[in-house]
Amino acid sequence: MEFTRAELSILKKLKSPEQIQGFLDNEIAYNKEPSGPTCRSPRYVLQDRLAHCAEGAFFAAAALRLQGHPPLIIDLEAVRDDDHLLSVFKEDGHWGAIAKSNYAGLRFREPVYRTIRELVMSYYEHYYNLKGEKTLRAYSTRPVNLKRFDHLGWMTSEEDLWVLCEHLCVVPHSRVMTLPMERKRRKMDRRSYEAGMTGLVKG
């Protein structure tokens, strides 16, 4: 199943990664899953104008694909917190990212990072739980190309995309720090904590 002409007319107006991020920020509400967990396809994100981080990342990957980028995803793994997904892209040999998040600091990254690790580490100081603990611990070592799931019609599927999420959980991950470093971690300072909560959707 493919996107309809009406759906494509919206997606093709998003002509840059920045425009995709702006659409996610301004046109797509944050999905607090009031009726239970969901993992909807880009089609239904567009239809319902609602997405959490996984749904937003898959939507961004589909939109980037229409711009000629491969649909690549990186999984950020956390402790005492939710994982976070990034839709990543490359420009002039450098990595950037698009993301949907309830936290202000976990969204867009300009394509200025030489490696995936550099890109991932830019999220470290902004990735924290409600107790103010910095929770990022690992990331999928290589981007996952969602083209491998084309046989499932992931961009327009009527079924939830749990198989994609399950795959992202089991691919090889790299730690962001050693265990001795982890034991010395510091909590967020109050101003940074509050800044990251700007625009938080409560539910």
State pLDDT tens for residues 49-100.
999 999 999 999 999 999 999 999 999 999 999 999 999 999 999 999 999 9
Residue 198 has pLDDT above 90, yes or no: no
pLDDT of residue 176: 96
CB 65 within 8 A of CB 89: no
Question: Rounded CA gap, 100 and 55, in Å?
Answer: 8
pLDDT of residue 186: 86
Q: What mean pLDDT do residues 102-128 have?
A: 97
pTM score: 0.96
Q: What mean pLDDT do residues 150-158 have?
A: 97
pLDDT of residue 185: 82
Q: Which CATH number is 5-196's, of 3.90.920, 3.40.1350, 3.10.620, 3.30.1490? A: 3.10.620
Residue 42 has pLDDT above 90, yes or no: yes
Domain boundaries, the chain: 5-196
Residue 1 has pLDDT above 80, yes or no: no
Question: Rounded CA gap, 89 and 25, in Å?
Answer: 18
Spell out a b/e string for 101-122, using b for 16 or more CB atoms within 10 Å of the CB, else e. Answer: bbbebbbbbebebeebeebbeb
